[in-house]
Amino acid sequence: MRLKEKVALITGAARGIGLQIAKRFLEHGATVILTDKVSLPFEISELGDNAYFMQLDVTQDTHWKQTLDWVSKQFSGLDVLVNNAGITGFEEFPEAHDPENFSIEAWEHVHATNLLGVALGCKYAIGAMKTRVSGSIVNISSRSGLVGIPAAAAYASSKAAIRNHTKSVALYCAEKGYPIRCNSVHPGAIFTPMWAQMLPTDPEELDVAKAAIAADVPLKVMGEPDDVAYACIYLASDESKYVTGIELNIDGGLLAGTSARPQN
């Protein structure tokens, strides 16, 4: 029960990493407000009495305001925000996303969701957390926020900006004397519906595609949503009370470096 009595809000929680974070937070005693752009593909009651759903499109200032007003009235404030919602942009804009050929529409759409969405979340969470005993904001960035990704330049740029904004929020809250910490998490290749959309649907072909991705990871396997969820439990809980402004990589060793060595 590492999150007992915490009130936590998670964005993009209908599936993938966000849903798994929600499930683990509930197991650890938190009250969890799952939010997503449209709806959940299941009944919220399936997750128990401490789970709530609010429709929240992270790009919409009014949605944030209404949701945080409701949370503040219902629970007298917020203890944890996980800014998880994020997109690659390939679903809505299948054309090239490289630095030479990207479209302004795709660039702006990706940044509106991934960067403005996180910035708005931080803005409203600060208001709802500053009178609590402690608050924790966890921003889900990406390995792509720390290295260049030529075929997904907007995604990489937005994720890099999340890393930087996290540090601004951490220092701002510390300077103001607010009891709020803010950290970023940088997943590598975690198998979720986001990946499933980009990989073959045939099970055998999917296994081959996943094995090819895993071959590039030092630990030789793709990550699971739980690998990120467990890191979020730590950052959300008071166990990390002296941790703010950090970046936590969950990537099977990808960012530890490349080998560039003779093959014997």
For tokens 């949605």, the residue is: 63
DSSP element (H, E) containing 222: none
* Cα atoms in the 13 Å half-sphere on the side-chain side of 88: 19
Tell me if 109 contacts ligand NAP by CB under 6 A. no
Of the residues 52, 155, 178, 242, which is catalytic?
155
For tokens 């009370």, the residue is: 241
3-state secondary structure of 194: helix
Tell me if 192 contacts ligand NAP by CB under 6 A. yes
Tell me if 106 contacts ligand NAP by CB under 6 A. no
Strand order in the sheet with 7-10: 51-55, 31-36, 7-10, 80-83, 135-140, 180-187, 247-250
Tell me if 59 contacts ligand NAP by CB under 6 A. yes
CB of 39 to ligand NAP, least distance (A): 8
Tell me if 11 contacts ligand NAP by CB under 6 A. yes
* No. of helices (H) and no. of strands (E), the chain: 8, 7
CB of 166 to ligand NAP, least distance (A): 13
CB of 5 to ligand NAP, least distance (A): 26
CB of 7 to ligand NAP, least distance (A): 19
x/- map, 193-232, ligand NAP, by CB under 6 A: xxx-------------------------------------
> Which of 3, 47, 82, 85 is the binder for ligand NAP (CB under 6 A)?
85
What phi and psi, each to the nearest 5 degrees, are found at residue 66?
-60, -45
In the bound state with ligand NAP, the residue whose beta carbon lies nearer, of 132 and 186, is: 186
Tell me if 24 contacts ligand NAP by CB under 6 A. no
CB of 228 to ligand NAP, least distance (A): 7
Count the Cβ atoms, other than its own, within 10 Å of residue 21.
31
3-state secondary structure of 10: strand
Tell me if 248 contacts ligand NAP by CB under 6 A. no
3-state secondary structure of 247: strand
Task: Confirm whether 155 is a catalytic residue.
Answer: yes
> Footprint of ligand NAP on this chain (CB under 6 A)?
11-12, 14-18, 36-38, 56-59, 84-87, 113, 117, 140, 142, 187, 189-190, 192-195
